Structure 1
Amino acid sequence: MDIEILQRQFNKIGALLKVDVAPKEEGWRFPMQRSRRVADFLLDVREVHGRETFLLTVHEEALDTEFLPIDVRPHERHLLLLARTQTKQKFLCGHDERHWFVAPVPEARSVTTVADAMDALKPQAVVTSQREHGVKGKNWNRRHNEGFIRQGEWFFLPRPRFHPDNELMILHNEPIRRSGGSPHMVEWLYRSGGTTVYVCNQHPNGLTEPQYQAVIRQNPKATKWAWRVMQRNPQVYAMGKIRHRDHATVKLLYWHLVVMSGETRSGNVVFLD
């Protein structure tokens, strides 16, 4: 691994990269839920001396791991990073509105460019919406186009003909969140379906009613945990202003279907509302 060459590639997109080596005796501990750990290395964004920095931590026994920026887009402030170990993992590193981010690219997809990676992170419903609305190539990955409006990990797909079945069920200033994520506040929200779950810090993905009761029987003190009743993976529609501390506010003039990014739709991350 040539650290200087790797750092220069990150510099091209306006980013800093810091590389650390983790001695074997330290073990691996990752307190941050957004950390991207794959086998013998960790890639994340942390604040270093007051500035957001990509931090690559590599186990000392894995220093021969090859990290290759296979597509660097300075104008877009994005690059696609290949980590070559026993397998190949790819990461999209870039800048989104106000902050740097790193997102693992789904391994099942054939990805060789930044544009490929952006597409791979879109759920199929988002790609279908773009095609149905005839989004032009130059606008395909813009945050706002005819097929969707995006804020962070959330896509909002236009549904101008949608009308809630029961207007009494429309909620005001309601949060939506992925497990472990900070909430996006929705001015007007309507949900349909989903699974009712009990959520707390100890069980961020939620427990169904039988699972919750089993935990309480096993540990009666668990009743004192800060449980919240939420819906897991419901169908959600949003309208009005969408606010989040890390993103510019967007305004939806009519109902939009809410879809979570493909990056977060893994086995240990769910849509909680």
Structure 2
Amino acid sequence: MKLEHLERAFESIGARLRVEAPVRGRNATSGYSLDIGHDRHGQFFALRGDEASLAEVEFSLLNKQEDNRHLLLLVKNEASKRKDRFLCGHDEREWFVAAVPGTASTVVQAKEALKPAPVREAQARKSLNSRQANTRHNAAFRRQGEWFFVPVEKQMVVDPKLILRHEPISRGGGSKPHLVEQLYRTGGEFVYVHQQYPRGLTQKQYENLLLRHPAAKSWPWRQMRRNPGVYARGAVRHPDHATIVLHDWCRVLMNEEHLAPSRRNLVFLD
């Protein structure tokens, strides 16, 4: 698909696409990036890369939903044989772009591919149809941006002393956190987190680092748990989304975007 045809596809869902030169230090390792830009007219989708990099890839429109302002984009790189998929659309107040794992060929399939297995299982238990399953508030879950909140069906007993108040949750990478009124974590692996090690170091990895670089001990580390069970209750706030209120404990799950190799081609996160 020629870039001018791609621009018209975005126009059909009420969005703007601009092709821009790469921003130093921000372009993806594979030569191009998709971003959300801002100018005096508002938000736009920014396709960034130099002429040679963009010539290496082919863009195809797989599917679009004009009424819901969503489209699914395929980016093929013949040299690497990679086929990347991106869901582009509008969610509540903002435009977004999400890397899609798997082989989705429609917007509906892309949305399902982004849901973690426990969310799809909850949908099946509640016998939701396709329309119901793609709302932000239904019998199976509440959604705010990339986070899903699935009600706990059995009564949870939580020690009040372990409840964190007004706790941020974030997927990292510079994304704006969602603020949860009450959060409870259980299980998981204890790790040391620093901006140079955003996924965390285990106790052994941390000790090995200090042996190599003793000065690292004075860095501002955060002690956290990786992959714990996370549960939320109360208000969940984010500047780009309407506040939701969870009246009972819900399991907190992030979407599956991190499983898509094309995640590296995204710059804008929230």
Query: TM-score of the superposition, structure 2-length normalised?
Result: 0.87
- Paired with 1:103 and 1:97, the residues of 2 have a C-alpha distance of 15
SS of the residue corresponding to residue 258 of structure 2 reads: coil
Q: Whole-Å Cα distance in 2 between the matches of residues 64 and 241 of structure 1? A: 46
TM-superposed deviation, 1:64: 5.2
1:142 has 2:135 as partner: yes
2:72 paired with 1:80: yes
Count of aligned positions: 258
AA matched with 1:93: C
Asked if structure 1 preserves the Cα contact closer than 8 Å seen for 2:193 and 2:221, the reply is yes
Q: Does 1:55 align with 2:43?
A: no
Equivalent residue letter for 2:59: F
- The equivalent of 1:166 in structure 2 is 159
Q: Distance in 2 between matches of 1:104 and 1:238?
A: 26
Question: RMSD over aligned Cα, in angstroms?
Answer: 2.2
1:158/1:255 contact within 8 Å kept: yes
Q: Structure 1 residue 2 and structure 2 residue 2: aligned?
A: yes
Q: What's the offset of the Cα at 1:79?
A: 0.4
Paired-residue identity, %: 43
Match of 2:122 among 129, 138, 155: 129
Conserved 8 A contact 1:164-1:190: no
TM-score by length of 1: 0.87
Q: Which residue of 1 aligns with 2:246?
A: 252
Deviation at 1:59, TM superposition (A): 3.6
How far apart are residue 38 of structure 1 and its match?
Answer: 6.7
The residue matched to 1:188 in structure 2 has which SS? strand
The CA deviation at 1:148 is 0.7
Distance, in Å, in 2 between the alignment partners of 1:232 and 1:19 is: 38
8 A contact 1:171–1:190 mirrored in 2? yes
AA aligned opposite 1:10: F
Code of the residue aligned with 1:92 in structure 2: it is L
- Shift of residue 201, structure 1, vs aligned partner: 1.3
Q: 1:226 aligns with which of 206, 209, 220?
A: 220
Which residue of 81, 95, 100 maps to 2:95? 100
Q: 1:266 & 1:212 partners in 2: Cα distance?
A: 28
CA contact (8 A) 1:178 1:264 kept: no
Any gaps of 5 or more consecutive residues in structure 1?
none
Contact 1:69 1:81 in 2 (8 A): yes
Letter of the aligned partner of 1:70 in structure 2? L
Runs of 5+ consecutive residues of structure 2 not aligned to the other structure: 265-270
Q: In 1, distance between residues paired with 2:21 and 2:159?
A: 56
Counterpart residue identity of residue 99, structure 1: E
The answer to whether the 8 Å contact 2:100/2:260 transfers is no
